[in-house]
Copies of this chain bind each other. A is one copy, B any other.
Amino acid sequence: MAKSKNTEQKIFDAATELFLEKGVDRTSVREIANKAGINLALMNYYFRSKENLFDAIFTMLVKKNTRKLIKILDSDLGLEEKIRKYVEAYIDMLTENPLLVSFVMAIVHRSQERITQMKAISSLYSTPKFAQQVFDESKKGNIKPTSPTQLFVDMLSLITFPFAIKLLIMDKTSYDEAQFQAFMEERKQRIPDLLLLSIKKDEE
């Protein structure tokens, strides 16, 4: 068990590094074996397949980087502050881990079916507390009657999609890296403002 754990870990670490560096598709199993200093077949021995290895790594990365987001969503903060904190933390997270974006895109694109089975993803998008909160505030008349699902999808879309089309935006606007950062920084204000405005009760 001692040495085996070691080998498994070596594969996991080497693959993580390579996947992040060059993307999953452009990383071959032989390369992983090389970098880990192990025999080619061991990858299939420990992880059943490359796809499986990717899942394991992806789950780890998501778990590691989204704890904070889930905590915010499940906290007792008021709706406004919760949304502001969530948007900011999410944008920070994707800015610091640009590869998570492409990983998510990889999943979304390559195996929509599988994405719903991944617990890490699943828990990230499970929002009972947030939904309840929106529901309660609607009922109490503090905000407009609002579908929690629509609101949450709005929020996710506004946060995530711009990262997915980052190069397109940079191309169209001639932004450099720093300007794109500033663009996303601006969105930390803009998105909550937009969302809060949309649920704000009409003055009567």
Contacts and interface: CB of A to CB of B under 8 A. Distances in A.
A169 B193 contact: no
Interface stretch (A29-37, A68-76, A147-155): A147-155
Taking residues whose C-beta sits less than 8 angstroms from the other chain, chain A's interface range is 35 or more
A194 interface: yes
Contact of A193 (B110, B126, B186, B198): B198
A3 to B, nearest CB: 36
Given A157-B158, A167-B116, A194-B194, A172 B125 contact: yes
Interface string A116-128: 1000011001110
Nearest to A165: B108
Contacts of A127: 172
Most B CB atoms within 10 A — which of A147, A186, A190? A190
A49 interface: no
A115 B161 contact: no
A154 B186 CA distance: 12
A121 B168 contact: yes
B110 A108 contact: no
A157 B168 contact: no
B109 A105 contact: yes
Interface string A183-198: 1001100100110011
19 contacts: A105-B109, A108-B165, A109-B110, A112-B166, A112-B167, A115-B168, A116-B171, A125-B172, A127-B172, A149-B169, A149-B172, A150-B187, A153-B162, A154-B158, A154-B190, A157-B161, A193-B198, A194-B198, A198-B198
